[in-house]
């Protein structure tokens, strides 16, 4: 009986989501479970879209997309060079279909972690009743990193905010750095665990990048954005190495 009731509730959430573009989840748990079930990845290493941008068709326009926090924060790249229809140079922000698809998936924001060519991109996308804000923040100093952590914290604490997608070009280096900081802030990763996480998720391209590695180790969580220990296992994905 419990299984039947749970199944019915999940179906109702899916219907609401796809009818209105974004469901208004009544609890964080509902939001987390929805995206867990939808993307079917459990650990931080698992990809939702692959290096060519394939895998989950409804998120086409992204590359190497991975979970940072279930239903709250995701990381990856922008699918430009491997795009099937609108190929362009790799060093660009998200293509228009990437932004639209994230909006359709209920995301409230996307953050481009480089500045190159951002001026030519849309800064806001609306599909149905969902609006996605597209911002450029690099996170290379304490003030910008605080903005990023605050954005994630607002998704955790405000039920009307959908997930945020943090991306660079390939979904390896800068997005990995930001993700490592988020995992230190909200999941209690140590300096060593955060650095190891970054290395393991560069798909073999971890040589060099000493400045990024230094920033990962030096990042200290902000006390004003702490969450409870009870909440951590709800939103923090497993790690195959942690």
Q: Quick check: 218 and 194 in contact, CB under 8 A?
A: no
Question: How much is the average pLDDT of 88-104?
Answer: 98
Short-list 82, 31, 79, 75, CA closest to 181: 75
Q: Identify whether 75 is part of a domain.
A: yes
Residue 240 pLDDT exceeds 90: no
CATH number at residue 76: 3.90.190.10
- Taking only the tens place, the pLDDT of each residue in 42-90 is 999 999 999 999 999 999 999 999 999 999 999 999 999 999 999 999 9
Give the confidence band of 2 by pLDDT, cuts at 50, 70, 90: very low
Q: Identify whether 242 is part of a domain.
A: no
Q: Identify whether 153 is part of a domain.
A: yes
Residue 22 pLDDT exceeds 70: no
Spatial strand order in the sheet of 62-69: 62-69, 73-78, 164-167, 109-112, 130-136, 124-127
Helices 28-39, 2-20: crossing angle, 10 deg rounding: 80
Residue 183 sits in which domain range? 2-235
Q: Identify whether 136 is part of a domain.
A: yes
- Taking only the tens place, the pLDDT of each residue in 130-145 is 999 999 999 999 999 9
Output the pLDDT for position 20.
Answer: 43
Q: Identify whether 230 is part of a domain.
A: yes
Q: Identify whether 86 is part of a domain.
A: yes
- Phi-psi category of residue 209: left, alpha or beta, with phi > 0 → left and psi -120 to 50 → alpha: left
Phi and psi torsions of 188, nearest 5°: 75, 25
Query: What CA dihedral angle connects 163, 146, 47 and 106, to 10 degrees?
Result: 10
Output the pLDDT for position 160.
Answer: 75
Q: Identify whether 60 is part of a domain.
A: yes
SS3 letters across 92-155: CCCCHHHHHHHHHCCCCEEEECCCCCHHHCCCEEEECCEEEEEEECCCCCHHHHHHHHHHHHHH
- Taking only the tens place, the pLDDT of each residue in 184-236 is 999 999 999 999 999 999 999 999 999 999 999 999 999 999 999 999 999 99
Q: Identify whether 164 is part of a domain.
A: yes
d(CA 130, CA 107): 8
Average pLDDT, the chain: 91
Phi and psi torsions of 185, nearest 5°: -70, -50
Output the pLDDT for position 185.
Answer: 98
Number of domains in the chain: 1
């Amino acid at each position: 009986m419990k299984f039947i009731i749970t199944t019915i509730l999940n179906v109702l959430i899916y219907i609401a989501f796809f009818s209105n573009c974004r469901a208004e989840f009544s609890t964080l748990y509902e939001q987390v479970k929805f995206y867990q079930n939808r993307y079917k990845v459990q650990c931080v290493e698992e990809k939702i879209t692959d290096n060519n941008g394939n895998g989950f068709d409804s998120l086409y326009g992204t590359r190497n997309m991975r979970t940072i926090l279930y239903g709250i924060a995701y990381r990856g790249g922008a699918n430009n060079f491997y795009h099937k229809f609108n190929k362009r140079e790799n060093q660009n922000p998200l293509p228009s279909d990437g932004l639209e698809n994230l909006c359709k998936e209920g995301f409230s924001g996307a953050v481009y972690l480089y500045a190159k060519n951002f001026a030519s991109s849309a800064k806001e996308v609306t599909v149905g009743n969902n609006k996605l804000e597209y911002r450029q923040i690099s996170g290379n100093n304490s003030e910008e990193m605080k903005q990023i952590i605050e954005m994630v914290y607002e998704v955790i604490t405000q039920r009307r905010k959908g997930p945020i997608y943090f991306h660079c070009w390939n979904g390896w280096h800068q997005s990995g750095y930001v993700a490592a900081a988020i995992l230190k802030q909200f999941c209690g990763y140590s300096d060593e665990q955060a650095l190891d996480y970054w290395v393991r998720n560069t798909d073999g391209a971890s040589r060099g990048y000493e400045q990024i590695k230094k920033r990962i180790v030096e990042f200290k969580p902000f006390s004003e954005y702490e969450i409870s220990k009870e909440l951590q296992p709800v939103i923090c994905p497993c790690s195959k190495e942690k």
